[in-house]
Amino acid sequence: MKITPYLTFDGQARDAFTLYQKVLGGDLEMMTFAQAPETEQLPAEHLERIMHASLSLGEFRLMASDTMPGDPACGGGVYEGIKGCSISLHPESIEESPRLFDGLAEDGQVVMPLEKTFWAERFGMLTDRFGVSWMINCEHA
């Protein structure tokens, strides 16, 4: 079994996943609502929202979509952001840690600076500019 984080945005999925691919690498696939069949019932101003995004990083995948007006997945159309979870990255080296941290933290908010802790060579927490919480946890040198 694999577990895949699936994020929901309010029109920022394209920008978020473009940043994530820039910082993390991997193969990015995105599909808009305009590319789906039977789109005539959707508001024209929302057709370029992302219906499905997938960033593949080896055997791991991060996925997402944008909400649509009235979407029951976001409380009937009231998007409240991504809450109550973090995506934890485990870089292979100390040198990779600041690149990941700084790339994701740009225009976001640092919650805990990237530094040595009693459990890791480098650990830091941040919320990116799209409201996604990240932890960088490099356990070995």
Beta-carbon neighbour count of residue 130 at 10 Å? 21
Residue 36: what pLDDT? 86
pLDDT at 92 exceeding the cut of 60: yes
pLDDT band for position 39 (cuts 50, 70, 90): confident
pLDDT band for position 82 (cuts 50, 70, 90): confident
Residue 70: what pLDDT? 65
Q: Which CATH superfamily does the domain covering 1-80 fall into? A: 2,3-Dihydroxybiphenyl 1,2-Dioxygenase, domain 1 (3.10.180.10)
Mean local confidence (pLDDT), 70-98: 82
- Tell me the CATH number for domain 82-141: 3.10.180.10
Question: If we measure between CA atoms, which residue out of 103, 82, 83, 109 comes closest to residue 91?
Answer: 103
> CB-based contacts of 119: which residues, under 8 Å, 6+ apart?
139
Tell me the two tokens of residue 111. Answer: 């919650």
pLDDT digits (tens, 9 = 90+) for 42-79: 778 889 999 999 999 999 999 999 987 666 655 556 77
For residue 138, list its beta bridge partners.
122
Q: Would you put residue 25 in left (φ > 0), alpha (ψ -120 to 50) or beta? A: left
Mean local confidence (pLDDT), 95-117: 97
Task: For CATH 3.10.180.10, list the domain ranges present in the chain.
Answer: 1-80, 82-141
Residue 72: what pLDDT? 60
pLDDT digits (tens, 9 = 90+) for 3-28: 999 999 999 999 999 999 999 999 99
| Separation of alpha carbons 20 and 9, rounded Å | 14
Torsion of CA 87, 62, 66, 82, to 10 degrees: -10
Q: Is 118 helix (H, G, I), strand (E, B) or coil?
A: coil
> CB-based contacts of 113: which residues, under 8 Å, 6+ apart?
124
Residue 140: what pLDDT? 78
Q: Is 140 helix (H, G, I), strand (E, B) or coil?
A: coil
- Indicate the pTM of the whole model: 0.90
